Amino acid sequence: MNEMQAEELVREYVSARRDSVHVPPNFPSRILSTLTQSRLPSQRVGFGRELLAATAIILTTAVLAGGIAWLRMHRNISPAVTPEPTGQQGALTYPSDGPVRFVSSQVGWRVAGQTPDGMQRRVYRTSDGGRNWQGVLTIPNGSLTAGWSWFFDDRRAVVVNTFRPARIYRTIDGGASWQAAALPPANPGLALTAGYFISTTDGWVLMGGGRIGASFEALSLYQTRDGGLHWSEVSHSTWRQAPSDGLPMTSYITHLSFRDSSNGWIIGTKLELRADGGLSMSGPVIYLTRDGGHSWHAEELASAPGYNLADGQAEAPLFLPGDTEGFLPVLIGGLPLPPGSPPRSGYGRMVLYVTRDGGQSWSSPAVLPVLPPTDARISGGFLSDSYWWLAGGQEIWVTQDAGKIWAHLRPQLPEGGRFGDVSFIAPNHAYGVLVTGPATAALARASNLESIDGGASWHSVELPN
């Protein structure tokens, strides 16, 4: 927030308070007349009321003048950051650079690469339902595939570029202006592993240093409360000195997620030491914090009858904004093909856990239909308290009763095509990314899709790049 914006906020605040004071017609002349008239008891009451109104106007004017004078006197001092309401509004999805993120029926955001080599990223915003898009931020030397983004409403957004130099960009005015800050710490030996923001001011990043197979030798969790201007280390663990309530060191970490300022999760894959001294991965691990990341404790998921969770990979839990309901998907791959199945790159199941108590416990899992191919990327979110969706591979699942019954959609996609991401704007309107070609990210090709029938069918659409 610059000086002009802060000054405007003071003006708006004082104006709102001034307008709430009732001022009678011909107020100045009535005050003078009252002062010269007789002081009967009945007249004193009216005079008192008018004098109070006059005092209120004088005080609000003084506050306005004093506030603006203070701002101008302290213009070189960074303004304090006001805490913002947390919880992403509208359609909530995993933090990534997906196709489109709509926060209302009309306002949406998009992060895309602007140059063919993908070394420049740009943020776009629409305010007319996607008919027109305006570029609101250009990030030089940024890799399209190396970043996260969170869009909270029509004005507040956070975009993190993890490609060196790693930076955080945030806006509170719909992209008209952005504040940039560095990610911690300025140490080339540490790698940015995961991050999560619950508002434009409050966020966490997980940094790793050194390597032991697929894991880091040391992990540090940093927190910011002012949009990245300052960071503090809230937890630190090493492979050799890991406290019992510390960060999980025997895991390959894939996700960091927070529901609010206290409750968060680290999701990863369990690492086990083999007899030959190597490491092998076996099943998802879930760690929970209830104190903002200072301490962590393992959570156990209920078994899925007929399926081995050791072959599964968990996604981060997603929660309804400001609510305790949410879901946690686990993708189980490597299953044998059923007899008579067409050749595919893989066969799997989506095991879905639901919570009603903010993640303290997870319900017995629901097993969703086949999910090919094995390199599928999962996306999902909420349109309302009861309307949720999940997408991955060539599948889309939709529930209209908060996860009790899921409808399965199987759109016709090109041979070898799969969804890279899906984002619903309304029950009948969604955007997606179609990925074709080899599973290797460098060789795969992506194109934009749109559905106007609830995800049953899709057509190509031009979006800004």
Question: How many domains does the structure of the chain reveal?
Answer: 2
* Contact assessment for residue 312 and residue 330, using Cβ atoms and an 8 Å cutoff: yes
Domain contains 12: yes
65 Ramachandran zone, left/alpha/beta (phi>0; psi -120 to 50): alpha
| pLDDT band for position 374 (cuts 50, 70, 90) | low
Per residue in 224-263, pLDDT (tens digit) is: 999 999 999 999 988 777 788 989 887 788 899 999 999 9
Can you tell me the distance from the alpha carbon of 29 to that of 34, in angstroms, rounded to the nearest whole number?
9
Domain contains 222: no
Domain contains 362: yes
Domain contains 350: yes
The three-state secondary structure class of 129 is coil
Domain contains 21: yes
Can you tell me the distance from the alpha carbon of 222 to that of 10, in angstroms, rounded to the nearest whole number?
33
Domain contains 152: no
Q: What is the pLDDT of residue 71?
A: 39
* Beta strands 429-436 and 418-426, pairing class: antiparallel
- Specify the DSSP element, H or E, that contains 102: strand 101-102
Domain-terminating residue out of 30, 45, 73? 73
Domain-terminating residue out of 57, 73, 89? 73
CATH number at residue 353: 2.120.10.10
Domain contains 61: yes
CA dihedral (375, 397, 361, 257) positive or negative: positive
Q: For the chain, what is the mean pLDDT?
A: 75
Per residue in 32-84, pLDDT (tens digit) is: 454 344 444 444 444 444 444 444 444 444 444 444 444 333 333 333 344 44
Per residue in 227-237, pLDDT (tens digit) is: 999 999 999 98
Domain contains 203: no
- Using CA atoms, how far residue 1 sits from 5, 167, 201, 202, 298, in Å, is 6, 18, 12, 16, 40
Q: What is the pLDDT of residue 183?
A: 86
Task: Count the residues in the chain.
Answer: 465
The three-state secondary structure class of 113 is strand
Domain-terminating residue out of 73, 100, 124? 73
What is the greatest pairwise CA distance in the chain?
104
Percentage, residues of the chain above pLDDT 90 = 24
Per residue in 380-434, pLDDT (tens digit) is: 888 888 899 988 888 899 999 988 888 988 898 887 788 888 888 889 999 988 8
DSSP assignment string, 241-287: S--TTS---SEEEEEEEESSSS-EEEEEEEEEE-TTS-EEEEEEEEE
Angle at which helices 41-73 and 27-36 cross, to 10°: 130
Q: What is the pTM of this model?
A: 0.75
**Containing domain of residue 318, as a range?**
307-465
85 pLDDT higher than 60: no
